[in-house]
Structure formats: C-alpha cells, structure tokens
Structure 1
Amino acid sequence: MSDSHLNQNTSEEKTAQEAESATNAASASEETTKHKTFTRRTVLAMAGCGVAGLVAGGVLASWGVTSASIASGRIEIRTTPTKMIVTDRARCSGCQRCEMMCTLKNDGRVCQHIARVRVWDNYNFGTNPGSGDGSYANCQFTVEHCKQCADAACMNYCPVHAIYASEDNGARMVDTDRCIGCGMCAQACPWNMPRIDSQSRVSTKCISCGRCAEQCPNGAIKFIDWQDIAQKVIDQGVVRTTTLVQV
C-alpha cells in the first residue's frame, strides 16, 4: 500500500476519533444539563425511595428531620416539586414575623388576617384548648402553611376555576382576574388556608414563595432545595452520580 493511502486512512481514523470525542462530550454536557436542577421526582428516583425513606435513612437529619422529631409532632414536612418545606415548632418563638413579612411582600401591607403562613390562629391554646400547646401551656407554637395538596379541595370546589397549579413550583395559586371572592375555597379547605382579602375582595393563599423562611429569626421555617437534598443523597453514598435515573 502506498504512503498516500496510509496517510489517507490515518487521517480518516483521526477524523472519526475526533467526531466520537465530540459526540461523547456533547452527551456528557447534555447529561449535566438534565440534572442541573433536581426536582422531587428526580431525587426520589435516584434515591430509590420516597420521602419516608429519606427520613429513615438519615438523609434529612442535618435539617432536624428525623423519624423521632416527626413522630413527636415537633417537625412537619411538606413537599413541592422544587422545595421541601420544614417547620420546627421547637424553634418558633411566636413572634409572628413570618405573618407580617408574608403579607408585606404579597399584599403590600401588613395584615396578618390574610397571611399565607399562620401562627396566631393557634397562638393561645394550640390547635384546641386541650392540646397543651400555645402561650397558655408549653409555649410551643403551631406554624401552618398551605399543604399544596395534590388533589386540592380549594381548586376542586372553586366555581370559576380560579385556582390552578403553578408550572414553576407546583403551588396552588389564585388567578385574581377570575376569582369572584365567594369564599368557597376557604370553606372547602380542611385547614382553612385560603382567605378572602377584605380590600381586594379576592382569595389569597400560600404560593410557597419562601418569604416567611427568609425572615424567621429562629430558623423555624426552612425551604430546602431538592438540589441540596440530592447532594446529601450522593454524599452519603445512597446513590452514585453515575447511576442517576432519567425520568
């Protein structure tokens, strides 16, 4: 075989290798992009368990979330596609700053009656006079948020379909242009989370904006990114980065 043929073959092989390397680099870049933002779904898939499994496995322990703390009623957790919301009654001092800051951000004024996070409702007696909680008993305060139910009663019973699920974070939100202020959402909700604003005459409810957590002086409310939980899952060896499941 002539030298020219050998050089041609070598050149073709080099070109093929460069093309393969470029393809592999593009695939790796695409893989990184896919998992740049972790959601509840991807984290639970990569961990191979549900939220209860993360709790039992100690993944959430650094945020105070353990099986014992949940069983005692001290910790409550709720999840949205983008965040895990943790409330810690032992850290709540009852200052109600969360309520004030919530309405200041969302309504432009301080009006705790329509706050999306609630402390005052159970301030004195806890959830009921015999609960042993609140300022008249053990001074443990109940911090309540919208549960962001998958099958939300507020959304189902709205006669004008003014409540919908946000594409950004999954929170149930009120379309103020459609809301007629009838109060059916508040009546349908088992926890009475939606409220009718007496000034705007429309319903208000928690949209998981996180302002309450940002302003809590004691860290009683935490909005934890699923990205951070994913890193804990990886750090603890629950799953390797090479075994991420595409969902």
Structure 2
Amino acid sequence: MSDTNTSGSAPVKKNITRRDVLAMAGCGVAGLVVGGALASWGVTQESIASGRIELRTTPTKMIVTDRARCSGCQRCEMMCTLKNDGRVCQHIARVRVWDNYYWGKSADTGDGSFGDGKGACEFTVEHCKQCADAQCVKYCPVHAIYADEKTGARTVDTKKCIGCGMCSQACPWNMPRVDTETGVSTKCISCGRCAEQCPNGAIQFIDWQDIAQKIIDEGIVRTTTAVTA
C-alpha cells in the first residue's frame, strides 16, 4: 500500500502487522468484526454466524473465504499447484474445494449440488488454518515444518522432509499432503495465488495495512498511533 490515499486521512506506516492493528484498535479480531471495521470485505457478525464467511489470520494477512461466492469451479486448486508445483495436480492443492462438495443424501432427496435444496451451490473453501500451536509442526519427526519469519505461515523445508505423512495425519483438517512425485509434503504458505485467480472473489487475502487504514478512516483509532513518522 502506498503512503498516500484519497480519503483525506493520514496514511498508515508501512509493514503493519496483525499485532499492530489489534493494539491500535484496542480489541481483538472479534472486536473488529463487531465494530464493523471489516464490513467492506463482507465480514460481519451475521455472515460469520450463518457459516457463509470463514475468517483466518496470519501476522501479515487476513484470509476471508465466502461460501456464497464459491461456484465450485476449482480454479483456485489448479492455480495453486501450477504456481507452487509447476503442474496442475489438485490432490496436493493447498486450498480445497472438491473435498467439500455435497452431492446430497441420495438421488431423489432434492438436496446437495444437483438438487434444489438450500445452499446447494455453496461450497466450502478450505485453507490451512496456520494454527498457533500447529499439530503438523509438533508431530513432524524431523522438524521440517517451521514458521516463516516474514509471513508467519507454517512452511515445509523440502530438504528436511522425508515424506512420512505424519503432518497430514496429525492435522485435524488433513491439510498437508505428500506429493507422490517429489516425495515431500506440501502445505499452504499463504502466497495468495488462489485469491488472485478466483473469478468470483470467494477468497480474499487482505493486508493488515489496509485494515489499519480502514479503522483510521472510520475513527476507530487515533491516527497518531499509526501514521508515518
């Protein structure tokens, strides 16, 4: 984000992190939601309570997935592997849609993706949760998964990984996957390629700097705590 903006308020300093924003606002992420600071990105109490919106945070990004916007096209999966693995291989995609398709209880129930039941065209977009106490990290026998210093994302060191699959088994959401071609584990590093390529805006990677600017513009925080010196 640049040092200038068109809103007339002072610009926030560069390299704002999650910790900076929450300190500036004097509340947690839940407080930002309740206060309406994230509404312009579709994040409200109602959208979260309904299950439409899922919110995840890393030190540098807020990741928002919107079930109502996902058409199930799987472009995110394809683009993820194309960028990170050099080929399209949705089995090892770091973002998952296909795994969460709901086809209905049976052919004649009228529910699921082929029926007319409520939510028939809403698909769950699953991301790595980037857990603070990550089980994949804890159970890796060779300590091949670490937190990237810049992004905070849990990342696989491919030189150390032995492809045992313990990270996948330990993860409650089965997010890491062992690539059978390379013999090492793959997992999300919050690169944002899936969001860039989603045709419907179902995935958003929002910079904390943009959120900081929003709470300044709306008067949620004093600008003196965040403006460039």
TM range, smaller chain: 0.7 to 0.9
Pick from 192, 195, 200: which aligns with 1:218? 200
Q: Give the unaligned 5+ runs of structure 1.
A: 1-31
Residue 91 of structure 2 aligns with an amino acid whose one-letter code is H
The CA deviation at 1:124 is 3.1
1:21 matched to which residue of 2? none
Partner Cα distance (2:208, 2:84) in 1? 24
1:80 matched to which residue of 2? 58
1:160 matched to which residue of 2? 142
Q: Give the unaligned 5+ runs of structure 2.
A: 1-9
Q: Which has the higher contact order (CA 8 A, sep 6+)?
A: 2
Residue 149 of structure 2 aligns with an amino acid whose one-letter code is E
2:37 matched to which residue of 1? 59
> Could you say which structure has the larger radius of gyration?
1
1:120 matched to which residue of 2? 98
1:174 matched to which residue of 2? 156
Q: CA RMSD, aligned part only?
A: 2.2
2:26 matched to which residue of 1? 48
The CA deviation at 1:133 is 5.4
Residues 1:71 and 1:133: Cα distance change in structure 2 (over 3 Å): farther
Query: Are 1:146 and 2:124 an aligned pair?
Result: no
Counterpart contact for 1:183–1:195, Cα < 8 Å? yes
Residue 21 of structure 2 aligns with an amino acid whose one-letter code is V
Determine helix, strand or coil for the equivalent of 2:209.
Answer: helix
Query: Normalized per residue, which structure has more helix?
Result: 1
Pick from 90, 93, 97: which aligns with 2:71? 93
1:14 matched to which residue of 2? none
Identity of aligned residues (%): 79
Residues 1:71 and 1:240: Cα distance change in structure 2 (over 3 Å): same
User: TM-score by structure 1 length?
Assistant: 0.81
Partner Cα distance (2:161, 2:82) in 1? 21
Q: How does 1:6-45 map to 2 (within 5 A)?
A: 35-45=13-23
Alignment size in residue pairs: 212
Residues 1:178 and 1:73: Cα distance change in structure 2 (over 3 Å): same
Determine helix, strand or coil for the equivalent of 1:179.
Answer: coil
Partner Cα distance (1:91, 1:79) in 2? 20
1:198 matched to which residue of 2? 180
Counterpart contact for 1:133–1:141, Cα < 8 Å? no
Partner Cα distance (1:117, 1:223) in 2? 13
User: TM-score by structure 2 length?
Assistant: 0.88
